[in-house]
Amino acid sequence: MNSSSSPIPPGAADNPRCVPIKLTGPIPTGDECDYPRYTALDHDTWQKLYARQESLPPGRAADEYLAGRRQLNSSAPGARS
């Protein structure tokens, strides 16, 4: 069987973050979504990594990207727990 005939990629059923190629019902929204359960340590690690990377785009990224980031008021995002 080739991958084009399979409606769901191998392993997708076991991964809550993988969206199947073909849904069998309405797209889940809000609290219907099965979000990963991040620990406080996961959040802390993400915040540190984001802060470290946050200073890199100026001088490297396009002005349009930087302007868009400012317009979105991009700050360290919090993962949903």
Answer yes or no: is pLDDT of 3 > 50: no
Q: Stretch 14-20: mean pLDDT, rounded?
A: 67
Show Cβ contacts of residue 21 under 8 Å, excluding neighbours closer than 6 positions.
6, 7, 8, 9
Q: For Cα atoms 9, 14, 17, give the angle at the middle one, nearest 5 degrees.
A: 80
Answer yes or no: is pLDDT of 1 > 50: no
pTM: 0.43
Answer yes or no: is pLDDT of 38 > 60: yes
For 67-78, the pLDDT digits (tens) are 888 888 655 555
Q: Stretch 35-52: mean pLDDT, rounded?
A: 89
What does the domain layout of the chain look like in residue ranges?
Answer: 3-71
Question: Closest Cα partner for 16 from 36, 31, 41?
Answer: 36
Q: Stretch 55-67: mean pLDDT, rounded?
A: 89
